[in-house]
Structure 1
Amino acid sequence: MTMEEDLNRLKIVLAEHKKTNKWLADQLKKDPATVSKWCTNNTQPSLETLRDIADLLEIDIKELINSTRISTPEVMYVKIKG
C-alpha cells in the first residue's frame, strides 16, 4: 500500500449510511475538523475510535479499513467433454 492510497473508508461508509461528518463529530464529541481529516485520510483515527465508529454505525470495524491485500482475479478452469 502506497502513501497515496486511502487507509480508511470512513467517507464512503458514512455516505452509505447517509450520515455526515458533523453527525459523527457530534456522536464522538470530537472537533468536526478532526473528523474531516479522518474522512480525507489526512490523519487516521485510533483503533479505539474506529471501534466506536463501527459501534455507532452497527458495522464490523473491517468495513472502515481498506484491505492491504492485493486482490487477484480468480481463475476457473472448465473441462470440456469431447
Structure 2
Amino acid sequence: MEERKDINRLKVVLAEKKRTNKWLAETLGKDQATVSKWCTNTSQPSLEMLMRIAEALEVDMKDLLWPLKQQ
C-alpha cells in the first residue's frame, strides 16, 4: 500500500502560532471548509494563497511546506 505524504505543514504552523482554522479563514476571506481541507492535506492552496498564508502567519513560505530538519 502506498503511503500518502503530507505536502504542507499548515496545521502544525497554526498550532505553533496558536491560531485557528477559523482565524485563518477570516483573515484570508476564505471558507472554513477550504482551510480545513488545506490543514488535512485533502487539497492544497495555490502558490499565491500560500504566500498570503505565510504573510498572515508571519512565517517563511517554505516553513509551510517542509518540516524543519532535526539536528
Q: TM-score, normalised by structure 2?
A: 0.88
Kindly report the root-mean-square deviation, in angstroms, between the aligned alpha carbons of the 2 structures. 1.8
Question: What is the aligned length?
Answer: 68
Q: Mark the structure with the bigger radius of gyration.
A: 1
One-letter amino acid matched to 1:25: A
Could you tell me how far apart the structure 1 residues matched to 2:61 and 2:3 are?
Answer: 22
Q: Which consecutive residues of structure 1, in runs of 5 or more, have no partner in the other structure?
A: 72-82
| C-alpha distance in 1 between matches for 2:3 and 2:31 | 25
Q: What runs of 5+ residues in structure 2 fail to find an aligned partner? A: none
Aligned to 1:56: 56
What's the % identity of the aligned pairs?
Answer: 61
Measured after TM superposition, the shift of residue 17 of structure 1 is 0.0
Q: Could you list the runs of 4 or more consecutive aligned residues of structure 1 that deviate by over 6 angstroms after TM superposition?
A: none
